[in-house]
A and B are shown apart, each in its own frame.
Chain A
Amino acid sequence: MSDELAATIIGKIKAHAAPETGAITLDTELTELGIHSLELTEIVFELEDEFGIEIEMSTVDAWSNLSNVGDLVDAVRGLVETKA
């Protein structure tokens, strides 16, 4: 399951997660990260910069459309492949 794209995304998430958060995998629920609601938007911004894509989601959309780390990886993968 682990690939380079997922590893990069998990690395970015880790920088924002609460220090006491354990290992982050594709199955980790976003609510388990101990992040403030606005921080997910910050993570989305960073992924846009990293991969040169635009994830058109407001803060509210992000929380209602994505539930775990895998969902975020899938969303980014889709956009990256479309771009390619």
Chain B
Amino acid sequence: MTRPRIVITGLGGICALGTDVPAIWQAMRAGRSGIGPITTTPLHELKVSCGAEIAQMPDHGIEHRRLVTMDRFSLLAVIAAREAAAQAGLTLDADASTRAGAVIGTGVCGWETIEDNYRGILLDGRPRANIFSVPRVMTAAPAGQVSMDLGLRGPVFAVSSACSSGNHSIVAAADQIALGRADVMLAGGTEAPIIWGVLKGWEAMRVLARQTCRPFSADREGLVIGEGAGVVVLERLEHALARGAPILAEYAGCGLSADATDIVAPTVEGPTAAMARCLADAGLAPQDVDYVNAHGTGTKMNDQIETQAIRRAFGTAADRLSVSSTKSMHGHCLGATAALELIACVRAVTDGLVPPTANYRVPDPDCDLDVTPNVAREREVRAAISNSFAFGGTNASVAVKAYRA
């Protein structure tokens, strides 16, 4: 079966680096980290005090009666989806709306609402949970809210695979187009985990950095949690051409795998398989790829295993790759992170510039790829791969490439 070509016609994002894609990309180009002290939420007795938060929400103009139904993770998704749809110039009449959908992934859920209820009821003696608790918390809320906001009446659902949710969502959305169920899909991920209850769980695992995130640097001390959302507009090529949409890049393919080993400890084999399958699915040889946006969490375990996996998947071509972890700047945004990282890949392709790994200080002999330390690198990026690995061993790599008619 020949599958239809799928292109990317819009990008939308919000995270610690900025409240739209131009601002986010400007920060990435400059290697400016958005990590800092958490100021927007009470931390109570938490030991961890740094994160990659959105210090100031943009003026979104969402009406009150819609806003009260939304947890922060839905709001972030709607803001990113609006930006992506606007860039794609998406206007949907009644017929077209049935051929347009959304897959918005999340790794956690609408935890701000859970936190507020437990504290309110158990500590402050409130008699009831917030009446919107159920529709605010549910994993599929952001997908539903995005569909309502943009009038998408085709396939709409959430996908969840912890920290690779964003990539699995993008793949699931592309599949809807490939299978003929939709012409246009908004796809990505969202997460608002900078909340005491979530951070307390991460703190218990002792994987959080005290200061900042330094992927691939020998003096790294762990990951930093971030919040945000990323959404891309995926579109059947003929559909995009027919309506004169801006074509930013082509969705080339994906590789999905599972470690099937441990709920938290990664393997080399799982990520290797994801990248190898991604190359095969995209019809790319290892030397056709110029940039890998690494999962690069900034934990010793991830960074060293990912380095080995990239070497196994790319062979000798690994040494001509530019690699970087943009988590050093936007933090680990869990279910949203892969979507933000795909934005970095698309902009790397369109702008011929590899965003750096910020906060890098000390070379690690076990992470000996070119990790683009601290300074962006200008080079033609014909194709880029975005890696996402997750607790549960659920791996997803997505490839994008320059669009050629």
Contacts and interface: CB of A to CB of B under 8 A. Distances in A.
Contacts of B131: 38-39, 41-42, 45
Contacts of A19: 64
Nearest to A48: B127
Contacts of B68: 16, 35-36, 39
Most buried by B among A16, A36, A39, A41: A36
A18 B132 contact: no
Contacts of A42: 131
A36 to B, nearest CB: 4
Interface residues of A, number: 14
A17 B64 CA distance: 8
A49 interface: yes
Main secondary structure of the interface of B (DSSP, over half): loop
Nearest to B132: A38
Contacts, number: 29
Chain B interface residue number, banded: 10 to 19
Contact of B64 (A34, A41, A45, A49): A34
Contact of A45 (B63, B66, B69, B128): B128
Contacts of A39: 65, 68, 131
Nearest to A35: B65
Nearest to B134: A38
Given A36-B132, A45-B131, 13 more contacts: A18-B63, A19-B64, A34-B64, A34-B65, A35-B65, A36-B65, A36-B69, A38-B69, A38-B132, A39-B65, A39-B68, A39-B131, A42-B131
Interface of A: 16-20, 34-36, 38-39, 41-42, 45, 49
15 contacts: A17-B64, A18-B65, A20-B64, A34-B63, A34-B65, A35-B64, A36-B68, A36-B132, A39-B65, A39-B131, A41-B131, A42-B131, A45-B128, A45-B131, A49-B127
